[in-house]
Structure 1
Amino acid sequence: MKTEYITPFLESAATVIEQVCNVATLRGELELKEVSLREDHVWIMVGLVGQFSGDVLFGIHREVALKIVSAMMGGFPIADLDEMGKSAISELGNMISGNASTLLYSRGVQIDISPPILVDESAPPTFSGKALSIPLTLGEMGQMEVQVLVIN
């Protein structure tokens, strides 16, 4: 699995989060591991097709997701991830993935992305295989995890 597939998603996530939340980001260590969806997290899944196929998953602890949605809504306090909050956090995944696909294109890799899907913990999709995974620290807000699962 090529690490150049995950780099544009990390670059894009850092840029988008820094702009939307006004926080500095810091990358953690890259790992190759089994795809896993941790509990108490909001998972945004975006499908990838083109020169390679797969999925990118953004995992955000619920408390961090509430902070991000609050920042996206101008600092308005958010207590629960209602439909508006789910829409906002899905749009975050769309912004990151759209920017990443532009970065990939500028590097000679053409992909298309699907609309983001919030993955429900009660009925998560089944994944098999290994993903490139890296945590991204969002200032004092907490962490987000980026997992890229490439099928071909």
Structure 2
Amino acid sequence: MSAAPQMNAQHINAITNAAVIIVKEHLGMQTGFSKPYVSGSQFMSSDISVVMGVNGTLEGQIICTMKNQTALSIVGSMMGGMKVETLDEMGWSAIQEFGNWVAGRAASELAKAEAAIDISPPVINEGRSTFRVEKTFLTIPLTSEAGEVLLHVSITPRVNE
């Protein structure tokens, strides 16, 4: 039995860079990171999660989780600095689009690392949840003036069977 494929630091860095670029360019906010940590195959999400599947030369998931207040700040920034107090249909669509931006930029950054991927349409999860998955996730805390977004990443080379 062969060992499970491992995540590649170059691929993780590409996704991290994508998130930084999106927050800086689309939201106009400076970003920083706290120390990444291994979440394992089970982790608790924040109030809102954007779940995206990765397929191609790599496979896995990218899950962005955030507190409700962070989501409201992100949506407000996406809407030109409006004060957003609740997430309505347009707000949920904006959070989904934020996930699309991160995933789309991640695909571009991964292409530079010679990894061709497709991203599934984002699925939004509202409410704290426990994610249970087969693979190990690395969690990268992204900080900005909007709040903290936890990037939970599990991508490995596709195994051809």
State the shift of 1:123 in Å: 7.0
Q: 2:44 aligns with which of 8, 12, 37?
A: 37
Are 1:109 and 2:110 an aligned pair?
A: no
Instruction: Give the TM-score of the pair, scaled to structure 2.
Output: 0.84
**Contact residue 5 and residue 148 of structure 1 kept, 8 A:** no
* TM-score (structure 1 length as normaliser): 0.89
Q: How many residues matched?
A: 150
Task: Letter of the 2:55 partner, please give it.
Answer: V
CA RMSD in angstroms comes to 1.8
What do residues 36-60 of structure 1 show as CA deviations (whole Å, max 9, x unaligned)? 2334x21001100111211000011
Change in 2 beyond 3 A, CA 1:29/1:103: same
Task: Give the distance between the partners of 2:105 and 2:70, measured in 1 at CA.
Answer: 22
Structure holding more strand per residue: 2
Query: Match for residue 31 of structure 2?
Result: 25
SS at the partner of 2:85?
A: coil
Structure 2 unmatched runs, 5+: 1-6
Residue 149 of structure 2 is aligned to residue 144 of structure 1: yes
Where does the alignment leave 5 or more consecutive residues of structure 1 unmatched? none
- Percent identity over the alignment is 29
Would the aligned equivalents of 1:59 and 1:145 in 2 still touch at CA under 8 Å?
yes
Q: Is the 8 A contact 2:55 2:119 kept in 1?
A: yes
SS state at 2:73 partner: helix
